[in-house]
């Protein structure tokens, strides 16, 4: 903080609160020594710190023990990590088991190409899911495009009218904002009085 341009009372306040650098604190001590008003300010603020500190409360005896007893037995983050690995490993194991099962059944029956056909069916299913998702997305964007196109087809006067209303609404919103801030400020000033 540039102490040369700061209210000396603010410096006294910061000094009492231990928020000044040693050099600033030293300079302030010199100023206080030569200024009765600053000495009084320091005395009064010192007392204020004391009376405020007197209002602090302390936790009841045994509070730490109660908190420690209420903690979960196993660390929650360890469970979360374990769950993450477990779910990945579980999924992989399930997929592997299904694949092995399909190929195993095909091999046991001695049917040529059944295992391959099963794998292809799964792949086809994945592809069709992706395609239907893409189709839905395209349809929704097409809907937005159609709405914009319909708006552009409106007569120029209607579009101009909508534009004028929008600009006015924006202006009103911007004008109302400082008034609201002034009202809040006035209310705060009244409260302070």
Partner 1 sequence: MAAGTRPSAVLEPKGVPPVPDEELVARVLAGDQGSFGVLVARYQDRLVSFLFRMLRDLDTAHDLAQEVFLRVYQALDRFDPQFKFSTWAFRVAHNLGVDELRRRKVRWVPLQRQDAEDDSPWERELPSLEPSPYHDLRNDQRGAAIQQAIDALPGDYRELIVMRHYAELSYEEIAQLKRMPLGTVKNKLFRGRQMLKEKLAAYLGD
Q: Which residues bind partner 1 (CB under 8 A)?
A: 1, 7, 9-10, 13-14, 17-19, 43-45, 47-49, 51-60, 63-64, 66-68, 70-72, 75-77, 80, 188, 191-193
∠ Cα 90 91 92 (to 5°): 90
Q: Minimum distance between the CB of residue 189 and partner 1, rounded to whole angstroms?
A: 9
| Nearer CB in complex with partner 1: 44/124 | 44
| Nearer CB in complex with partner 1: 66/159 | 66
| Nearer CB in complex with partner 1: 15/115 | 15
Q: Minimum distance between the CB of residue 147 and partner 1, rounded to whole angstroms?
A: 40
d(CA 23, CA 3): 10
What are the residue ranges of helices labelled H in 55-155? 63-70, 76-109, 114-152
d(CA 98, CA 100): 5
Q: Minimum distance between the CB of residue 91 and partner 1, rounded to whole angstroms?
A: 23
d(CA 155, CA 162): 11
Q: Minimum distance between the CB of residue 87 and partner 1, rounded to whole angstroms?
A: 17
| Nearer CB in complex with partner 1: 7/112 | 7
Establish how many alpha carbons lie within 13 A of residue 153's alpha carbon, considering only the half-sphere containing its beta carbon.
6
């Amino acid at each position: 903080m540039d102490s040369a341009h700061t209210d000396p009372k603010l410096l006294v306040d910061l000094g009492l609160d231990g928020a000044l650098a040693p050099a600033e604190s030293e300079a302030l001590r010199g100023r206080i020594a030569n200024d009765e008003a600053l000495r009084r300010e320091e005395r009064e603020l010192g007392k204020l710190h004391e009376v405020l500190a007197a209002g602090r409360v302390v936790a009841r005896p045994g509070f730490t023990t109660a908190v420690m007893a209420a903690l979960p037995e196993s660390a929650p983050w360890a469970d979360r990590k374990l769950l993450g690995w477990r779910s990945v490993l579980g999924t992989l194991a399930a997929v592997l088991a299904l694949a092995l099962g399909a190929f195993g059944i095909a091999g046991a029956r001695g049917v040529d190409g059944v295992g391959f056909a099963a794998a292809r069916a799964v792949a086809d299913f994945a592809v069709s899911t992706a395609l239907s998702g893409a189709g839905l997305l395209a349809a929704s964007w097409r809907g937005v495009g159609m709405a914009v196109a319909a708006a552009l087809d409106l007569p120029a006067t209607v579009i101009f009218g909508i534009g004028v209303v929008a600009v006015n609404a924006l202006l009103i919103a911007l004008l109302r904002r400082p008034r609201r801030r002034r009202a809040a400020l006035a209310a705060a000033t009244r409260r302070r009085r």
